[in-house]
Structure 1
Amino acid sequence: MAMAASSLADWLRSLPDDALADLLRARRDLATPPPANSDVLATRAGTAGSVARACENLDNAALAVLETLLVAGADETPVSVERLARLLPVVPSNALDRLRSLALAWGPDEAVCVPAAAREVFGPFPGGLGASSAELAGLDPDVVAARLADVGEDEQALLSTLSSGSPLGRTRDAATDVPLDEAVTPVQKLLARGLLLRRDAQTVELPREVGLALRGGLVVDRAALTEPELPVEHHEQSRVDAAAAGEAMEFLRHAETLLRTWSHQPPPVLKSGGLGVRELRRLARDLDVDERRATLLVELVVGAGLVASDESTSPEWVPTMLTDSWLSTPPSGRWLTLAHAWLDLPRMPGLAGGRDARDKVVVPLSEELRRPLAPAMRRRVLSTLADLPGGAGVAVDDLVALLAWRAPRKGGRARDTAVRDTMSEATALGVVALGALTTAGSALLDGDQHGAAAAMADALPEPVDHVLVQADLTVVAPGPLEPDLARMIEAVADVESAGHATMYRVGETSVRRALDSGRTADELHELFRTRSRTPVPQSLSYLIDDVARRHGRLRGGVASSFLRCDDEVLLTEVMSTPAATELELRRIAPTVVVSPFPLAEVLDTLRAAGFAPAAEGPDGRILDLRPSGRRIPARSRPSRRTEPSRVGPLGADQLTAVVAHVRAGDKAARSRKGSMVRLPAGGGADTSATMALLSAAARDQREVWIGFVDSHGTATQRVLTPVRVGAGMLETSTGERYPLHRITSAALVEE
């Protein structure tokens, strides 16, 4: 029969190098800094914090095996797999091997051990079972079962409650001992029978033996060891991609509207950081979306670097110079910018609207939404979908249950909420549709940005080059318009409703806006004549001509500003209004007046008074004086590789070096040292004895044990073969170099 390793350190020393490398790869914290030897590695692996981190990557079955080993006392005495099998309906395939690969269990099947710290991690009641009863521990399970058969229904109900949840119960009936023939309440009767333990005057505990008996001798049932099924609904991948494209177009439209709105009216930054509730509600109302979607939009435009705080004395959220290039990018490129920002966003927008520890509302862009592990959660959700066949859609509740089973200790209390938020956000962005991962989303997850943009471009409907003008002065775009056509239509019409088909409405204000921007009536007539697949209604032509006839009869320039008009009667009418006094208009010729106010302000005031002036350039052409919006310089985004939350796995060369470091420390620890020579503290004084020892070892090709302090100040030991000593360095047969001033002691290794 194989014997158990005497300790975790001994078991680690017995592992092949590739198995030790796999352990260090899976438990990254064990390798930083490199452990001096297996004893140090075992100490790290046995700490409560490291055990807890390792357990985050275990599924429910492996955790159940680990908890069952604790119930069996494997943290104190080795437990056989045969004993383990008696406490489980079935020992899950590979679960014990998984625990061994993470150093959460070690030893042969006849004697399996677990770290003592595991009991601290799982709490005082592993498996939901209480402490062992001294009275019941030595009894046969059949005897315990016979005692349980004698209890009444009230007592049985109480026992069932304690066995299915916490084994502790609070009651006043535990205050005093009562003989069985005098017991009245279920608690008193069970205490008298020895089927409950009294912890204090108000607390009772269900003994482990009773809990196991009520569970049929098993720590967990079979359902807890079986991964829940993930029902899927199959769709054509093309249908999934098309549905996602529609969502992506809508999201992009909202993002564009947000950027244009904030270009002209940037919202203030709260003193504590973030975006105020009032501004969020105003934005949601302007976009006609709910506050959750508005929050996601705000977080992503900031996360993508399209918006930032201007950091002035009264800071505001202002679009950056990246906005203009983003707006001119094709839809697939705009989508990629936002989708990539979402995937790596170290924040959880879904938490906005909740309450913080001070019972204050958590607002968008605030520090309370920062969650460094959020990108890992998103990738975990999307990777689960990526493992399914193409076009396989899942229900969110089923996905939540599956991920909870696969890693019940990962993500904390917000785990299930994070999964739901991830699916909701991914659907809004078009990364997921109909519960399935899209082609673009799959490429995005794989890091293929070009492929993701190309896939989204293929899914998006082809831009259309025409509109449908209707008799009620509405213009229907039967799909996404070509960029130039979209700009022209938006200049002369207002969006009335958006979606797969966008409806615009032409009115006097919108026509005047187009004329203000420099377009002429003839150009507007030509636009509708050439781009409308339906006949242009006469009412639209009349509207354009009527507005154009009145538009621009007053012309403004800079004097600071001037107004000129060939119609002296109209100019006289202007001078008789209160606006003339407000603008300090002064007539310098029968057809010309000037004002000390800026031209834009003069024109706005006259328009408010009912006139329709237009701005004029030096060449007499109409000018568009509307501001293009504020912009601030874009800030560089931190590289993912430099973010502390995204420390990558150890590379193959690093793992090889750490394993060699551990093996060298083990070799040094077990080597027999001869008489030792110690260097004086600080490296001063006479070092001739040490130099002579190392030189002799190099000449005779003898192994030497040295103690040294590395660049991190960590003391360690090595066994090596010197080949050269000089110039302040010790060179070894393996090519390593050790500064002599860091060597603290040396001794020949005895053969």
Structure 2
Amino acid sequence: MATFSEHLRARSDPELVDLLARRPDLANPSPSTLASLAARATSRVSLERALVGVDASVLQVLESVVALHDVLPAVTAADVARAVGARPDADPTPAPDDDVALTGVDDALAEALGLALLWDTGTDLHPAPGLPEVLGPYPAGLGPVVDRLPDDLGAALAGAPPAARGVLDALAWGPPVGRRPAASAPEAQSAVDWLLGNGLLARADAAHVVLPRQVALVLRDGRTHREPATHCPHPPGTVHPESTVEAESAAAAQELVRLVTALVRLWERTPASVLRSGGLGVRELRRTAAALEVDETLAALVVELAGAAGFVVDDGEDSPAFSPTVDVDDWLEADLPDRWATLAATWFATTRTPWVVGGRDERGELRAALDPELARPWAPRLRGAVLEVLAGRDPGTALSADDVLAVLHWRSPRSVPPPAAVAAILREAGVLGVLGAGALSRAGRALLGPAAPAQPAERPTSGPRTGGAPAAAEDPAGAHVAAARALAAALPTPVDDVLLQGDLTGIVPGRPTPELAALLDEAAQVESRGAAITVRFTPDTVHAALDTGQTADELLARLAAHARGRVPQPLEYLVRDAARRHGRMRVGTAGGYVRSEDPTLLAGLVDDPALADLGLIQLAPTVLAAQAGAAALLDALRARGLAPAAERPDGQVVLARRLVRRVPGRSRRRRGAGGSAGPATAAASAGDADAGRARLRALVPALRRAEAVSRSGVTAVPGGVTPGTEDPVAALATLREAVADGREVWLEVVGPQGTPQRRRVRPVRVDGGRVRAVDSARDAELTVAVHRIASVTPIDPGDPTT
């Protein structure tokens, strides 16, 4: 097989379907022919996407093949195994201890070939066209290949002075570029000059030198890497008893539900104002944290979680505020495990990043909670990746952020997450109860679903290595039920009684039932939480209970129903004394009032059916209160033939002015707090998996038919030259293949005046919308913009007619 395109054509239909399934960008949108598929597979964007998903062992194999491709006449699997250190010598029979490492290299090669990042002629491994440019100029820390080297590299290195040898050792394992010493360091300058003079270093530019790849490989004993990365790191972590994990998980889950409930109750009484940018102000966050009795970091998480779940939103009023929604009522009526499962599933799926609240953005501005700019599309994937690492350990195993980061670094070395984000996700998972004592709880594992076994394979067969969507996204109903059941099993049995004491306190020895919790929430305040809850009854808390419409006898009866023994006499006195004083002074709401010095003008207005909508109440012979506002009162009374005038609070008449109507402009605030894509949206991808595979199975034969039609029109022309392709996509694929193989092509270029010109060139680089090539006949180098290329014709070096 001479080219990458021909290699793709030779793949079987199932192999092509597997390639398209593992690299979805190759099939979306559908390519027109196999040639266009090859062009897309070798584009920089597609290669970058594919490299993001490979683990460290696959990346090592790719770097080795790229590094050796320009050094060895043919690169084989055995060469790669020796280069990465899986086979310590050239003995074709490996030692028993090397079997595992060799198997890992073979698996990594198979993975790279399956992803079309490498292709195999049967005797030689080749990198996909464009892959060397994506990996960078120094694969595996090795410098460029140079033409002029000593005839005997070993003898030249053995004769290097000690100072020169020190320079070589410093550059051997990369980076291969070093700065030339200044004149103030004559010994170092002399050593570098000696290496340059003997061909062991090359000049990169006027101020830098570079170690040639061939020299570095000799210094490394032919290896491209110090040791093979065939095994995922397996940090030991800390093992806790499962009972401890479940107990801490249950306690955290209860506290989270309580905090979100308290936030809803707080904002339904006093909604939090919205900033112009759409977020929650620092003062409002501080006030909320103080009311919840938590720090601002935890308050930001609670606020963001409530916003992502749709429990609080910007109400969109003229003076906007964050207020609870109608959806929160159903949540408040559900039992504790179900409420927690809703919050945990929301956390899994939301694109919000609460941990950045309080930091500064690129403009130096403070990041606010509920700010629309806090959404990050990668956040759900990172949560899944972090928790999958914990799911792969024995139950009860807790890992630190550094341990998790080491595993993620191996799984996706080209896409390592920020350490702060990993630490924040672990911290948030502990707050939610997904983790207990730092280990994954049963409820957390239920949210991840059955796809998260206790010991997962180091190389997943599908999905990105940085983790896929959790079960909460793929099967929201099933994951929700499973997680709620797992938490319910971990929760302590609720208690329905309280030990009331004579000092006006009460102790609940465990988790209260919903009925007892509602009673204490109405009539007492919590003093401490832990294994038991201590509450205190005060005049203010009893007045709050009486405000709900209860009488003293009803409240005492409810307390007696849950008390261990009788209600203490001091508490009974407190309730009855508060009831005697409750309601002796009353406060109401009025939208406006009507007054007149002549009581006869107000007579009969209260009972007038035409004015019933105003809600008039007579407070005095000369004063009426109304539920309607002043404007509505003026209009209604004038319609009855009266002549009222508006007045200010000080009694002065308000002079009428012409009203100028204004329509609201487009708000500069971005509405909404942002949040998760929602379980229903995320679940669609799982249901479409089979349909997507079927589409790919139908696409491959269509590509073959289109390719056959495209190639059927190719005929020979005088001179033995085959007409080139005018398809830009296929032209790019041909150019990349020519770069990878060092072949020449016929390039038809349209000049600035529209005149076509045909030149025989050897492409050197295709990147950034430009092609750099060498014209051997004219001994010149040219750079051509891709949009000026009319056609590209490959040249067979074995055909003398070309």
TM range (shorter): 0.7 to 0.9
Q: CA deviation at 1:635?
A: 11
Cα distance change of structure 1 residues 183 and 484 upon mapping to structure 2, 3 Å threshold: closer
| 1:518 aligns to 2:549 (yes or no) | yes
- Once the 2 structures are TM-superposed, how far is the Cα of residue 47 of structure 1 from its aligned partner? 0.8
Structure 1 residues 174 and 102: CA distance shift in structure 2, 3 A: farther
Over 3 Å counting, the alpha-carbon distance change for 1:668 and 1:477 in structure 2 is same
**1:286 pairs with one of 269, 285, 291:** 291
Shift of 1:530: 3.1
SS of the residue corresponding to residue 106 of structure 2 reads coil
* d(CA) in 1 for partners of 2:70, 2:683: 36
Aligned equivalent of 1:495: 526
Per-residue deviation, 1:72: 1.2
Matched, 1:550 2:581: yes
| In the alignment, structure 1 residue 426 sits paired with structure 2 residue 467 | no
Contact 2:85 2:228 in 1 (8 A): no
Cα gap change, 1:357/1:188 in structure 2, threshold over 3 Å: closer, same or farther? farther
Give the Å deviation of 1:242.
2.7
Offset, 1:214:
4.1
Q: What do residues 622-681 of structure 1 show as CA deviations (whole Å, max 9, x unaligned)?
A: xxxxxxxxxx9999985567579979756221121111222222333454799xxxxxxx
Q: Which residue of 2 aligns with 1:331?
A: 336
| CA distance 1:69–1:235, shift in 2 (3 Å) | same
Instruction: Provide closer, same or farther for how the CA distance between residues 555 and 595 of structure 1 changes in structure 2, counting only shifts above 3 A.
Output: farther
**Cα deviation 1:401-425 (Å, max 9, x = unaligned):** 0111111113x5x444333322222
Check the 8 A contact 2:178/2:208 in 1, yes or no.
yes
Question: What's the counterpart of residue 146 of structure 1?
Answer: 158
1:651 to 692, 717, 728: 692
1:344 Cα shift? 1.0
Contact kept in structure 2, 1:174 and 1:187, CA below 8 Å:
no
User: Which deviations, in whole Å up to 9, do the C-alpha atoms of 1:480-513 show, x marking residues without a partner?
Assistant: 2222221111111112233443222111111122
SS in structure 2 of the partner of residue 67 of structure 1: helix
User: In the alignment, what sits opposite 1:376?
Assistant: 381
Distance of aligned partners of 1:39 and 1:489 in 2 relative to their CA distance in 1, 3 Å threshold: same
Q: 1:528 aligns with which of 559, 568, 573?
A: 559
Matched residue, 2:484: 453
Give how far 1:45 is off: 0.7
Residue 32 (structure 1) aligned to one of 24, 28, 32:
28
Classify the secondary structure of the residue corresponding to 1:496.
strand
Residue matched to 1:275: 280
Task: Indicate whether 1:250 and 2:281 are aligned.
Answer: no
Shift of 1:24: 0.6
* In the alignment, structure 1 residue 666 sits paired with structure 2 residue 735: no
Assess if the C-alpha contact under 8 Å between 2:389 and 2:407 holds in 1. no
Letter in 1 for 2:443: A
Name the CA distance, whole Å, in 1 between partners of 2:233 and 2:520: 53
For the residue of structure 2 that corresponds to 1:318, the secondary structure is strand
Structure 1 residue 290, shift from structure 2 partner? 2.7
Deviation per CA, 1:510-553: give whole Å up to 9, x if none: 11222222222223333333322266443323322332233334
Tell me the equivalent position of 2:401.
396
> How far 1:301 sits from its partner (Å)?
0.9
Kept in 1, the 8 Å contact 2:349–2:678? The answer is: no
Moved more, 645-654 or 268-277: 645-654
Distance change (3 Å), C-alpha of 1:348 and 1:435: same
- Tell me what 1:441 maps to: 444
Deviation at 1:462, TM superposition (A): 2.2
Structure 2 residue identity aligned to 1:96: L
Deviation at 1:195, TM superposition (A): 4.1
Partner of 1:720: none
| 1:107-140 CA-partner distances (Å, limit 9, x unpaired) | 1452111123112211111111222344437544
For the residue of structure 2 that corresponds to 1:204, the secondary structure is strand
2:161 counterpart of 1:120: no
The change in CA–CA distance for 1:290 and 1:223 in structure 2 (over 3 A counts) is farther
What amino acid is aligned across from residue 369 of structure 1 in structure 2?
A: L
What is the letter of the counterpart of residue 417 of structure 1?
Answer: A
- Find the counterpart in structure 2 of residue 611 from structure 1: none
Cα distance between partner residues in 2 of 1:359 and 1:634: 21
Contact 2:351–2:675 (CA under 8 A) maintained in structure 1? no
Q: Residue 8 of structure 1 corresponds to which residue in structure 2?
A: 4
Letter in 1 for 2:696: L
RMSD of aligned Cα (Å): 3.7
Tell me how far apart the structure 2 counterparts of residues 268 and 43 of structure 1 sit (CA, whole Å): 53
The 10-residue stretch of structure 1 (19-28 or 157-166) with the greater mean CA deviation from structure 2: 157-166
Distance 1:640 1:101 in 2: 32
SS in 2 for 1:173: coil
Q: Give the unaligned 5+ runs of structure 2.
A: 87-101, 450-474, 594-616, 628-670, 716-726, 728-802
**Aligned partner letter, 2:158:** A
Answer yes or no: is the 8 Å Cα contact 2:262–2:292 preserved in 1. Answer: yes
Displacement, 1:104?
0.2
The answer to whether 1:469 aligns with 2:500 is yes
Counterparts of 2:191 and 2:273, CA distance in 1: 63
Distance 1:381 1:363 in 2: 25
Q: Higher relative CO (CA 8 A, sep ≥ 6), structure 1 or 2?
A: 2
1:350 paired to 2:355:
yes
Q: CA deviation at 1:392?
A: 3.7
Whether 2:321 is the aligned partner of 1:298: answer no
Q: Do the aligned residues in 2 keep the contact of 1:75 with 1:114 (CA within 8 Å)?
A: no
Q: Tell me if the contact between 2:370 and 2:673 (Cα under 8 Å) persists in the aligned partners.
A: no
Check conservation: 2:7, 2:119, Cα contact below 8 A: yes
Q: 1:8 to 1:673 in 2, by over 3 A?
A: closer
Q: Secondary structure at the match of 2:204?
A: strand
- Cα deviation per residue 1:39-92 (whole Å; 9 max; x = unaligned)? 111111111111111111111111011011111136997523343334221152
Give 1:556 shift: 6.5
Higher mean C-alpha deviation, range 108-117 or range 322-331: 108-117
Deviation at 1:188, TM superposition (A): 5.1
Instruction: Decide which of 77, 80, 85 is 2:81's aligned counterpart.
Output: 85
Residue pair 2:83, 2:222 contacting (<8 A) in 1 also: yes
Structure 1, gaps ≥5 residues long? 563-584, 599-631, 675-708, 710-751
Task: Determine the structure 2 residue equivalent to 1:65.
Answer: 61
Aligned identity (percent) is: 39
* 1:31–1:84 CA distance, 2 compared to 1 (3 A): same
Q: Look up the equivalent residue of 1:222 and give its one-letter code.
A: E
CA 1:74–1:199 in 2, change beyond 3 Å: closer, same or farther? closer
Q: Residue 209 of structure 2 aligns to a residue in which SS?
A: strand
Query: For residues 12 and 269 of structure 1, do their structure 2 counterparts lie closer, same or farther at Cα, with a shift above 3 Å needed?
Result: same
Pick closer, same or farther for the CA change 1:213–1:315 going to 2, 3 Å.
farther
From 105, 108, 113, the equivalent of 2:118 is 105
* SS at 1:200 equivalent: coil
- Number of residue pairs matched? 604
Residue 203 of structure 1 aligns to which amino acid in structure 2?
Answer: H
Q: Distance in 2 between matches of 1:233 and 1:171?
A: 49
**Helix, strand or coil at the partner of 1:113:** strand
> Residue 264 of structure 2 aligns to a residue in which SS?
helix
**For residues 134 and 683 of structure 2, what CA distance do their matches in structure 1 show?**
25
Name whichever of 473-482 and 494-503 sits farther off.
Answer: 494-503
- The 5 A counterparts of 1:588-667 are 596=625, 651-667=692-708
Q: Which amino acid aligns with 2:442?
A: T
Partner of 2:175: 166
Amino acid at match of 1:441: G
